[in-house]
Structure 1
Amino acid sequence: MEIFGKHILLKHRGCNLIDEPGKPIPPQVNIFVKVTKGCNAHCQFCSNAASPHPQSAFRLDKLSAVIFELHNRGIMLNRLNITGGEPAMVSPLVQQILQMMEQPEFSNIHMHLNTNGLLSQSQQLMTHSRWDSISMSLHHYQASALSQLYGCTITPDAFRFEGVDMQKVNVSCNLIRGYIDNAQEAHRMLDFALSLGVPRIGFVALMKLNQYCCDHFVDLEEIFWEKIPHVYFTNSMNRGAHCKCSNYLYNKNLKILEIYMRNYSDPTYCASSLVFDGQYLRQGFHQHNIIY
């Protein structure tokens, strides 16, 4: 299908459920809106680690034009993901996007925030009612370990989320050698997520995109999840050789935590993923093809 005269890849089938093929779905796409490359953390595994400055002026009018183009072409915008960098570094811009997305014609679009939740501006953004879901990057359960990983100071009130609907929040935890890299550490991370009051947590292996990621890579199978008490497999979904994820439940003291794991992912696979950086719309995260 084409938008702005350029061909794009769309998602036409749902994910395969174990060995059962995915069912046909309306053509749809997700947009990842990179509002900045700047971040308060300086994680060595991050693809933005070498980006010292926030990006140039953001074209809100162009983002609106992209959304209307998809609508006019009959393409479902499944999710609008606000990401970075750390979106809280440009909180006023994110507020402008949220205000734009409160227009009646955009009311059915799922709004998602990616944040590390460490800044006061981040926690303020998390309280906005327009978010349908929030992913919080949190790669350890101890503030001292997070300070090492992030290269920034973790304040004592970093995990006091007043006014935030924690049922919208999921924790995203990278498996990193020397940090969360075995069953005991993963178990502690599960308990920490429960203590925060979030309903779900995701464990993801690093993509080997730089030397740090190669040196600190931990495969999901190294964790031996079956050694963690009260962790139960529920299902798995995949898109063939491109990506696979598995789902589990952790049940402790009458509290249930949903667990998501990305078993593998092809970083060049970009069907259904559009990226808008404030200036240009592209297909996928690692491609230079400008659509608009």
Structure 2
Amino acid sequence: MEIFGKEIAVKSHGCNVMDEPGQRIAPSVNLFVKVTKGCNAHCKFCSNANSTDASSVFNIPKLITVIKELKGNGICINRINITGGEPSVVSPLVYKILDTVEENSFDDIHLHLNTNGLLPQSQEMMRHPRWDSISMSLHHYDVSKLSELYGCRIPEKAFDFEGIDLQKVNSSCNLVKGYIDNAEEAHKMLDFNLDLGIPRVGFVALMKVNDYCWEHFVDLEDIHLDSIPHVYFTKSMNRGSDCKCSNYLYNRDLKILEIYMRNYANPNYCESSLVYDGEYLRQGFHQDNIIY
């Protein structure tokens, strides 16, 4: 389909479920709104680890033009994902975007905290009532281990989450050698999320973007999730050789935790993913693919 006179790839079929082919759906995209490259953490496994750019120069009217162009061409926006860097380092900008989106009655606004929801400025942003859903990186159950991973001090009361609707939250746990790297540690993470009141958790293998990731890589298969008592496989979904994920449920004391695992992903796959960085709209996360 076309927007701004250029062809874009949209999702026209849902994911294959097990061996059943995906059903035809309305043309749809996910719109990622990258508000900054800056970050308040220094995670060694991150390709953005050394970025200090917290610039808030951002063309909000152009974002609204992009959204209206998509809708005007009959393209469904599954979610508007506010991401970074770390969005909370440019909180005033994020709040301006939320106010503008609210004025234009756009739905399905998602916050993606690329570092964590454990610092005061992150939790303040999570309390904003406009979010329909929130993704939060949470790579360990121990504050000292998290401080090591993030390269910044995590306060002892980081897990209080006062005033935050945790039913909107899903946590994402990177598998890192020496941290969460086996079934026993994964089991502790499941219990930890369940005790916090977070209803969904995802386990993710590191992207091999630097030496640290190569040296600390843990394969999802090494976790043996189905060996954990009361973990039950529910389904797998895929888009052929481009990506595959598996879903499980964990049941403890009549409490249910949803589990998501990304089995594999082609980093060049960008069908239906549009990225707006405040200046340009691109297909996928590649710098040379400017649409508008």
Common fold by TM > 0.5: yes
- C-alpha displacement at 1:56, in angstroms? 5.3
* Distance of 2:236 and 2:242 partners within structure 1: 14
1:146 matched to 2:143? The reply is no
- C-alpha displacement at 1:185, in angstroms? 0.5
Deviates more, 1:54-63 or 1:242-251: 54-63
* Distance of 1:63 and 1:104 partners within structure 2: 11
| Paired-residue identity, % | 68
Structure 1, residues 140-196: CA drift from partner, whole Å, max 9, x if none?
Answer: 110111111000000012111111111000010011111111001101111111111
Structure 1, residues 107-132: CA drift from partner, whole Å, max 9, x if none?
Answer: xx211101111221211111122111
Structure 1, residues 263-289: CA drift from partner, whole Å, max 9, x if none?
Answer: 001111000000111111111113421
* Distance of 2:240 and 2:44 partners within structure 1: 30
1:270 matched to 2:266? The reply is no
1:112 matched to 2:117? The reply is no
Q: Contact 1:33 / 1:276 at 8 angstroms: preserved in 2?
A: yes
Q: Contact 2:226 / 2:233 at 8 angstroms: preserved in 1?
A: no
Structure 1, residues 224-283: CA drift from partner, whole Å, max 9, x if none?
Answer: 112211111010000000000000001111111000000001111000000111111111
Moved over 6 A (4+): none
Aligned-residue Cα RMSD (Å) equals 1.1
* Distance of 1:196 and 1:3 partners within structure 2: 43
Secondary structure at the aligned position of 1:124 is classed as: helix
1:136 matched to 2:136? The reply is yes
Q: Contact 1:136 / 1:172 at 8 angstroms: preserved in 2?
A: yes
Q: Contact 1:88 / 1:119 at 8 angstroms: preserved in 2?
A: no
Aligned to 1:33: 33
Structure 1, residues 65-121: CA drift from partner, whole Å, max 9, x if none?
Answer: 100110111111110001111111011111011111212542xx2111011112212
1:256 matched to 2:281? The reply is no
TM-score scaled to structure 1, two decimals?
Answer: 0.97
| Cα pair distance change 1:56/1:167, threshold 3 Å | closer
* Distance of 2:199 and 2:254 partners within structure 1: 13
Deviates more, 1:42-51 or 1:186-195: 42-51
Mark the runs of 5 or more structure 2 residues left unpaired by the alignment.
Answer: none
Aligned to 1:245: 245
* Distance of 1:286 and 1:185 partners within structure 2: 35
In the comparison of the two structures, how many residue pairs are matched?
Answer: 290
Deviates more, 1:85-94 or 1:54-63: 54-63
1:96 matched to 2:90? The reply is no
* Distance of 1:125 and 1:54 partners within structure 2: 16
1:225 matched to 2:219? The reply is no
Q: Contact 1:30 / 1:274 at 8 angstroms: preserved in 2?
A: yes
The within-5 A match list for 1:51-70 is 51-55=51-55, 57-70=57-70
Aligned to 1:188: 188
The within-5 A match list for 1:7-18 is 7-18=7-18
Secondary structure at the aligned position of 2:159 is classed as: coil
Aligned to 2:198: 198
Deviates more, 1:96-105 or 1:159-168: 96-105
Opposite residue 108 of structure 2, the aligned amino acid is: H
Secondary structure at the aligned position of 2:160 is classed as: coil
* Distance of 2:36 and 2:157 partners within structure 1: 25
